[in-house]
Amino acid sequence: MSKTPQTKGRGDGLVAENRRSRREYSVEDTLEAGIMLVGSEVKSLRQGKANIAESYASVEDGGLYLINCDIPIYNAANRFNHEPKRKRKLLVSKRELAKLSQEVERAGRTIVPLKLYFNDRGIAKLLIGTATGRKAHDKRENEAKRDWQRQKARILKEG
């Protein structure tokens, strides 16, 4: 019997996705990071409840931390519950941490969480990306390009 994550009927284990990040930022590089959670947080994630839309990652005290990620309390955990918006440590290797901190300091990039999911072994992972912020005209240009691609695909499909 295989253990499959129970996340809103999705087979891929996806818990939360930051769709705004692809619009607001130009993502250059991605990295899969582990995340340190307590038991009630894992239970809440398995129910498919989380919000990473307004969160970001930061290098602090020699580690990488996820800040402002909202994992709601798990009702069955009563007094052993967690704080919903606490700072959570992300698990990356020393080499990856050094690379991320250099990119943030030198190139002025931001570390943005893209997806929160359970991998095939049932372990919670966070896909993070190093990104640069987009200007308003870049956002409009990117949206127009995407619309044109859709129209082109529709025309080719019909014809």
pLDDT of 95 over the 90 cut: yes
Assigned CATH class of 14-134? mainly beta
Going by pLDDT thresholds of 50, 70 and 90, the confidence category of residue 12 is low
Q: Provide the pLDDT for residue 71.
A: 84
Provide the 3-class DSSP secondary structure of residue 132: strand
Averaged pLDDT, 19-42: 83
Averaged pLDDT, 82-90: 83
Share of the chain above pLDDT 70, in %: 92
pTM of this prediction exceeds 0.85:
no
* Rounded alpha-carbon distances, angstroms, from residue 63 to 6, 66, 72, 93, 98: 30, 10, 24, 10, 10
Pull the structure tokens for residue 41.
């947080």
Task: Classify residue 85 by burial, with Cβ atoms within 10 Å: 0-12, 13-18, 19+.
Answer: middle
pLDDT of 105 over the 50 cut: yes
pLDDT of 84 over the 70 cut: yes
Whether the Cβ atoms of residue 147 and residue 50 lie closer than 8 Å to each other: no
Longest dimension (CA), the chain: 62
The amino acid occupying position 67 is: I
Share of the chain above pLDDT 90, in %: 9
Q: Provide the pLDDT for residue 5.
A: 43
List the one residue out of 15, 26, 119, 111 whose CA is nearest residue 71. Answer: 15
**Among 16-30, 66-80, 85-99, 123-137, the range of highest mean pLDDT:** 85-99
More confident residue, 101 or 79: 101
Per-residue pLDDT of 57-79, as tens digits, reads 888 888 899 899 888 888 777 77
Whether the Cβ atoms of residue 125 and residue 12 lie closer than 8 Å to each other: no
Whether the Cβ atoms of residue 143 and residue 47 lie closer than 8 Å to each other: no
Average model confidence (pLDDT) across the chain: 82
